[in-house]
Structure 1
Amino acid sequence: MSIKGKLILAFAIVSFLATVVSCLAIGIMGASASKHALSEEVKSKLISVRDSQRSKIEAYMKQILDQTKTLADSQMTMNAMAAFSKHFKRYGEESGTDDGLKAKLSSYYTDEFEKEYQTLNSGEKIASTDLLNQLTPNQVAIQHAYIKANPHPLGNKDKLDKASNGVKYDASHGLYHKHYRNILETFGFYDIFLVDAKTGEIVYSVFKELDFATSLRSGPYANTGIGEAFKKANAMSKGQAAVTDFAPYPPSYNGAAAFFASPIFSEEGKRLGVLIFQAPVDVINHIMTFEGKWKNFGLGASGETYLVGPDGKMRSISRFLSENPKKYEKIMKKSGMDSQQLQLILAKGTTLGLQRVDTKGAKASLAGKSGFDEFLDYRKIPVLSAYAPLDIPGLNWGDSK
């Protein structure tokens, strides 16, 4: 590409005022010194934005790790973990296990969960009854009480402070739930879990998806990201924390989910369980998209910043999908994206964990390299890009701009 083309492209990305773009693109072609100065100015701008975004994400992820460790070590969590573990195992017995509960719960799995799953996955089906059949009678009883019999609609099950079965677990739930829900809402977490150290059972969840009450040792989600987070943290010492990368997570309708986890110990040093946060996707997207104010940060009409994971897929949302899904669809069709994959992205409304980025910058940053270069981006459009790896314990992410 000629220096003139590069300059026009660079200013389309960095977006100085339109009048400046026109003057520079037309007026400086004759002076090599001026061309070099302009190129260096663009490079400096892109690197500055890249480093700023990288610092923000690294600081935010560290903050979540610190919050996980702090809350796991709090007196409230110690007490809640002990109470939930003690009363959880007797829920069915105390509430009077009904042989018909499984059939009633099954209707929730098939009529509500499956329908929402198909809507968010372009019609793809999931064998939800296979998931249900892995639950014990006690797990069925508590899922029925807090999910199926919960009067609040799908996506709002956290609004129930406690079930009305009059058992000890319900009393503990009524005592602690409002506090954990407040923490979730204040910091923007997707969910918060308390998991018993011995059984691996999720004895408490704020949001109450289908992972609630299941075992992370032997249940349907033991081999997912949350199961990995539990196993890592359950082998750690006090004050340590683990993180797992974003990956499709069935209870969240196969949306990409990452987990932060830290062990819970009693004051006497007895291992009680594990506290787990499901990562706040919205906050990460707000950082990477400048909360939709790209132009205020010098990114003009087409500049963006995004994160890429070791699988070569985004860990944040594409600006172009966020701004204009129809235009994004048109662009990606033109780029040759698989139609089924494109429809899945559009159905979920995100590129996180779905949009593949096989660019020179993404590969270099994942290999631990920082740099600035010109290449085709994931839209098959030439761009100038500044890229770098992120320093997040337990993750291998790259930042590209």
Structure 2
Amino acid sequence: MNIATKLRVGSLLLALIPAIIVGVVVGWTATGMADDALHHEAKARLTMLRESRSRQIENYFSTMHEQLVVTAETISTQRALNALNQAFHEYAGETLTDSDADRKSLASFYSGPFSAEFAKHNGGSVPQLPDIEKQLGDSAAALQQRFISGSPHPLGKKDELIVLADDSEYARLHGMFHKTFRGLQRRFGYYDVFLVDGETGDVIYSVFKEIDYATSLKTGPFAQSALGRVFASAMAIDQPGSTAITDFERYLPSFDGPAAFMGAPVFYKGEKIGALIFQLPVSRIQDVMTGHGQWQQDGLGQSGESYLVGADGFMRSESRFLLEDKQGFVDLLKKTGAPSQVIEDVTNKGTVIGIQSVDSPGAKAA
């Protein structure tokens, strides 16, 4: 996403236009030229809010950039990636795993609990999964089985497994580093935090443990995803201090929810060994754009809103009206002739990000 980012409060927001026009028309009949003053006052207020939101969102992305760079440059992160990388690839040999049993467990998980949860977020649709277990090496399959399909914790809480019930080096290191990275993820609201081996592209560590964990971002099932692309871009950076970022798009491991990523290379003793990647927090970005839901206090009254629009014309943050009244918003989409696929996706996913386009002068001018 360009951080100059198609921020659109609009001179007069789509939902705010009717309220202002009605006020102007009624006021004009009674007070003559007062209509121009009201219009310009409203426009000036919205312009100020647009500039304020723009600065806030740019500052927030700048903060995430700095957090990523600083974390990637800490000796703790460098040591974690270096040590976990070796332990990850040695795990199967160290623990004498049953690879066939691990892959069978994973296949059952993908077609069972994962697909069932995916369907809940997608109107009953079942995901088209590319035989993920067949694309995992023995160590990767074993670790995904231990932390995901074999974990006692339910979906959405796989991060609660801290130490594996074996004496492997990976189990020891995971227990050591997981609290640190999980604390980072929770404190700053990131959806997930990844460590990725620069040579193989293997996701050797993830806080949240979705099905992208332990896959290869070079040759695996999600190599062409936004996560795979940000990894490739991060590894193309030759000096510390820079980051790569992707736009929001649907992401299968997160049940086809909107996801964006920011990544930075990790150097250890002068050698680029991998990447640290953050999955960006949709909710925190939403808080910035909605003023934590304080629309009226921000001068937007009963029907004004501010939101992000991407270069492709699609929304990158939620609509106020969806957040306040989902069914009412869906009914409005139907009444205004929105495409049936848009209505279906908004209904099932409960989001407009990457789904609803904005075709208005304000959006085009942003």
**TM-score > 0.5 by shorter chain:** yes
1:201 aligns with 2:202: yes
Deviation at 1:274, TM superposition (A): 0.3
Deviation at 1:256, TM superposition (A): 1.1
User: Could you list the runs of 5+ residues in structure 2 that have no partner in the other structure?
Assistant: 1-12
Deviation at 1:13, TM superposition (A): 6.0
Note the alpha carbon deviations across 1:288-339, whole angstroms, 9 max, x for none: 1122221111111110001011222110001111000110011000111223
Code of the aligned partner of 2:46: L
Deviation at 1:201, TM superposition (A): 0.5
- Alignment correspondent of 1:240: 242
Structure 2 contact 16–304 (Cα < 8 Å) conserved: no
Structure 2 contact 178–207 (Cα < 8 Å) conserved: yes
User: 2 CA distance for matches of 1:317 and 1:10?
Assistant: 19
User: Which of 264, 267, 278 is residue 266 of structure 2 equivalent to?
Assistant: 264
Find the residue that maps to 1:39 and give its secondary structure: helix
Code of the aligned partner of 1:257: A
User: 1 CA distance for matches of 2:117 and 2:16?
Assistant: 42
- Alignment correspondent of 1:42: 42
Find the residue that maps to 1:273 and give its secondary structure: strand
- Alignment correspondent of 2:53: 53
- Alignment correspondent of 2:354: 353
Code of the aligned partner of 1:265: F
Structure 1 contact 233–274 (Cα < 8 Å) conserved: yes
- Alignment correspondent of 2:342: 341
- Alignment correspondent of 1:156: 157
- Alignment correspondent of 2:7: none
Find the residue that maps to 1:245 and give its secondary structure: coil
Structure 2 contact 84–170 (Cα < 8 Å) conserved: yes
Find the residue that maps to 2:358 and give its secondary structure: coil
- Which segment drifts farther, 220-229 or 134-143? 134-143
User: Which of 2, 19, 22 is residue 12 of structure 1 equivalent to?
Assistant: 19
1:369-380 equivalent positions in 2, closer than 5 A: none
TM value normalised by structure 2: 0.91
Code of the aligned partner of 1:250: L
1:230-309 equivalent positions in 2, closer than 5 A: 230-236=231-237, 237-266=239-268, 268-309=269-310
Q: Percent identity?
A: 41
Structure 1 contact 11–42 (Cα < 8 Å) conserved: no
User: 2 CA distance for matches of 1:13 and 1:32?
Assistant: 16
1:2-401 equivalent positions in 2, closer than 5 A: 12=19, 26-29=26-29, 33-98=33-98, 99-128=100-129, 130-236=131-237, 237-266=239-268, 268-365=269-366
Task: Flag the structure with more relative contact order, 1 or 2, with Cα contacts below 8 A and sequence separation at least 6.
Answer: 2
Structure 2 contact 16–303 (Cα < 8 Å) conserved: no
Note the alpha carbon deviations across 1:326-354, whole angstroms, 9 max, x for none: 10011000111223321221222111111
- Alignment correspondent of 1:381: none
Note the alpha carbon deviations across 1:24-45, whole angstroms, 9 max, x for none: 7644436554222222111101
Deviation at 1:363, TM superposition (A): 2.2
User: 2 CA distance for matches of 1:25 and 1:33?
Assistant: 11
User: 2 CA distance for matches of 1:142 and 1:339?
Assistant: 42
Number of residue pairs the alignment of both structures matches? 351
User: 2 CA distance for matches of 1:183 and 1:337?
Assistant: 40
Code of the aligned partner of 1:38: L
User: 2 CA distance for matches of 1:361 and 1:144?
Assistant: 49
Note the alpha carbon deviations across 1:190-236, whole angstroms, 9 max, x for none: 00000011111100000000000000100000001111111111111
Structure 1 contact 265–271 (Cα < 8 Å) conserved: yes
After superposition, the Cα gap between the structure-2 partners of 1:73 and 1:213, relative to the gap in structure 1 and judged at 3 Å, is same
Find the residue that maps to 1:292 and give its secondary structure: coil
TM value normalised by structure 1: 0.84
- Alignment correspondent of 1:394: none
Code of the aligned partner of 1:281: V
User: 2 CA distance for matches of 1:71 and 1:259?
Assistant: 15
User: 1 CA distance for matches of 2:252 and 2:26?
Assistant: 54
Deviation at 1:171, TM superposition (A): 0.3
Structure 1 contact 345–351 (Cα < 8 Å) conserved: yes
